Amino acid sequence: MPKRAHGGNRNQKYIDHMNTIILAEITGNITSAFGLLGAAIGVGLIGTKAAEAVGRNPGAATKILVQAIIGMALAEGLGVLALFLAK
């Protein structure tokens, strides 16, 4: 089979390009999953520690709740940021 003037097989270049795109999508999905997993673990730890703190000092429940909500919002914010930056 004679070589083409453009120097290669067009189909092979197209397949290589598609493989690169698929690999980039998979990598982005894995990265965003790890970011969201970290946020979920962070929210769980904050909730656990807040419940322990209220159990030790019920009089400070309001202050602990406020701090826990702020901490959870920051953790979720970082998870959403990871989701959008990975895509």
Please give the tally of structural domains in the chain: 1
Q: Is residue 4 part of a domain?
A: no
Q: Is residue 1 part of a domain?
A: no
Say if pTM beats, i.e. exceeds, 0.85: no
* Structural domain range at position 34: 10-86
> Would you tell me how many other CB atoms lie within 10 Å of the CB of residue 72?
18
- Note the pLDDT of residue 19: 84
Q: Is residue 74 part of a domain?
A: yes
* 60 Cβ contact list (under 8 Å, min separation 6): 53, 54
Whichever domain contains 25, its CATH number is 1.20.20.10
pLDDT band at residue 83, thresholds of 50, 70 and 90? confident
